[in-house]
Chains A and B, each alone.
Chain A
Amino acid sequence: MSRKSLASPFLLWIACGTVIPLAVIAFYGFTDRSGTFTWDNILAIFSPEHAQALGLSLLLAAISTVICFLLAFPLALILKDSKLGQKGFMIFIFILPMWMNFLLRTMAWQVLLEKSGPINAILTGIGLPAMEIINTPAAIVLGMVYDFLPFMVLPIYNTLVKIDPHVIEAAYDLGATKKRVLFDILLPLSVPGIASGVTMVFVPALTTFVISNMLGGGKIHLIGNIIEQEFTTSANWNLGSGLSLVMMIFIVLSMAALSKLDKDGEGSLL
């Protein structure tokens, strides 16, 4: 048996799991119900309803990504500087939620944020006004940040620990303040990790429909929800496929842009 044939299960997997479905989507995307070629499903993204959903998706995904970064970078710095024993424990604590089903975690927030849920009970209990956050874009952002934060922390942490400690000492030696070391040394040197983290948060946040379904109460339509509805309730596979292809362009573009920043794959999780 040649070495190449050892790869055949993998090739089969790629073919069945990726190539064939993609081809099917492309077929549906470029045809109408009668099977004739059309651009309509692709151009449907410019209809006000779809364009608005895409715009909101991009906005919420971007906001979530920024918030994740603002939380993750300081956290990764703290992790890097903590002592060896503590370090393992802190990372463990941080990854722990990742092992739980993501639907379950989102559902938990749904319950927590309810109008008469535990959070509001506590708030009113101590005399503060109740929050009306559930079914708003804010709740969706909260869900995205909660679900995707570990994917930002880990790659940034990975690049931070790889920075030669003497490089940081050299900066202090040359008179740099802590702030200067952060902005001139640590931040630029962790760009590969940040790029990887941004990809891993932005892309799933852009395409999610579960989080927006559960925490948006079905009132807020992200592009993911629209596509999902075309496949399920409207049973219009052609339009769903067309919109999916448009989404794919956005995903490929953002990944290509970010992978330029992480040439050596330093920040990759695996």
Chain B
Amino acid sequence: MALIELRNISKSFEDTQVLDNFNLTVNENEFITLLGPSGCGKTTTLRIIGGFETPDEGQVFFEGVDITNVPPNKRHLNTVFQKYALFPHMNVEENIAFGLKISGKSDAYIKDKIKYALKLVNLDGFEKRKIDRLSGGQQQRIAMARAIVNEPRVLLLDEPLGALDLKLRQDMQYELIRLKNELGITFIYVTHDQEEALTMSDKVVVMNKGYIQQMGTPEQIYNEPENAFVADFIGDSNIVDGIMVRDKVVKICDTIFPCIDDGFGQNKPVDVVIRPEDLIIGKPGQGHLDGEVVHNVFQGVHYEMEIEAGGFLWLAQNTTSYPVGTKVSLEVEPENIQIMHKPQSEGEEAIEIDV
């Protein structure tokens, strides 16, 4: 049985529809990430699960029990808030002990738990520290500690790394994965950072305008985006108009490319996604398309180049640098060409995909 189930949830604030007939299932011990741009409804979804918002329609189930109208203080889950929301008038120890004292645990138990939690988040000895004496990263860890000492079944995390700098964010990502594995609890994570989502999650839910665009493992989301929104939102990508000539053959820029997709019919217009790192750059005449490098930027791991070929500006990433002006050819392996249905209308672009 699913641990948490959202069934037909709709929610609007004043005139804005944030969620429309939204369905989501979360399984035990899963690291699930709600990913999307701001305003896509991911935070609202989290707040509905946490009990801070009541849906206009639909129900929330926890282990099969309807908890739609259960207040947050009666739910078996804890939240790590975006800005940590630590109690400013209490020290670290008092913050962590807050939930334990409410549930009436003994002083000895609380003391042990605080010690254990601080060790877990690598902040031993911080018991008496004041909140305003902590850095952002430390506050973030204390917020985690405060939530996990209560041994919740589910931990809700609302962009908890959003305010940290890049290096710290990457460290914390690994820390979160480690914590989840050590604690064995379900994480529901909200972020707009696709890299964060891909790094940490078992399951990613890509959202836009209150609808689920795609749900799957990070690999599925990255390698097989189901529509142009997902392809564009997750990583860099070239999204090109194409014609599906027949099964396993697609025409892009008036050139025939072999691919591995089928079932699109014959001579149907489609969207084609090719990741920049999947473009193979060669000598002119050796690939599918000939072109010229028009832009080249060094980005550390690779060079990012723009290549004008077949009337399209391709984004390519390669560890070898081809200076601006170089004549090159482009080639793509058939399995790296991802074919997607073209949306028939604006509305369909945001439509829910049944999973």
Contacts and interface: CB of A to CB of B under 8 A. Distances in A.
Interface of A: 164, 166-167, 169-177, 180, 184-185, 188-189
A97 B150 CA distance: 49
B87 A167 contact: yes
A176 to B, nearest CB: 6
B99 interface: yes
Contacts of B78: 173-174
Given A167-B86, A172-B73, A176-B73, 17 more contacts: A166-B82, A166-B85, A167-B87, A167-B88, A169-B72, A170-B86, A171-B87, A173-B50, A173-B78, A174-B73, A174-B78, A174-B146, A174-B147, A175-B102, A176-B102, A184-B98, A189-B89
Given A166-B83, A169-B72, A175 B103 contact: yes
A177 B72 CA distance: 10
A189 B88 contact: yes
A174 B150 CA distance: 8
A169 B52 contact: yes
Contact of A174 (B52, B89, B98): B98
Contacts, number: 59
B103 A185 contact: no
B61 interface: no
B83 A164 contact: yes
A177 B73 CA distance: 7
Contacts of A167: 85-88
Interface in B41-98: 50-52, 71-74, 78-79, 81-83, 85-89, 98
Residue among A166, A172, A175 with the highest chain B CB neighbour number at 10 A:
A175
Residue among B51, B72, B82 with the highest chain A CB neighbour number at 10 A:
B72
B283 to A, nearest CB: 58
Given A166-B82, A180-B102, A175 B87 contact: no
10 contacts: A169-B81, A170-B81, A170-B87, A172-B51, A172-B71, A174-B98, A175-B73, A175-B99, A175-B150, A184-B98
A196 B82 CA distance: 31
B219 to A, nearest CB: 33
Interface size bracket, B side: 20 to 34
Interface of B: 50-52, 71-74, 78-79, 81-83, 85-89, 98-99, 102-103, 146-147, 150
A189 B74 CA distance: 24
Contacts of B102: 174-177, 180
Nearest to B75: A173
Nearest to A181: B73
B138 to A, nearest CB: 17
Contacts of B89: 188-189
Contact of A170 (B51, B71, B79): B79
Contacts of B72: 169, 172-173
Nearest to A165: B85
Residue among A169, A171, A173, A180 with the highest chain B CB neighbour number at 10 A:
A173
A167 B86 CA distance: 6
Given A174-B78, A176-B73, A169 B85 contact: yes
A180 B72 CA distance: 14
Which 4 pairs show the lowest CB-CB distances between chains A and B?
A: A174-B99, A166-B85, A170-B85, A175-B102
Contacts of B88: 167, 189
Nearest to A170: B85
Contact of B81 (A166, A176, A177): A166
Nearest to A173: B79
B150 A185 contact: no
A185 B87 contact: yes
A164 B99 contact: no
A39 to B, nearest CB: 45
Nearest to B81: A166
A133 B99 CA distance: 49
Nearest to A188: B89
B83 A173 contact: no
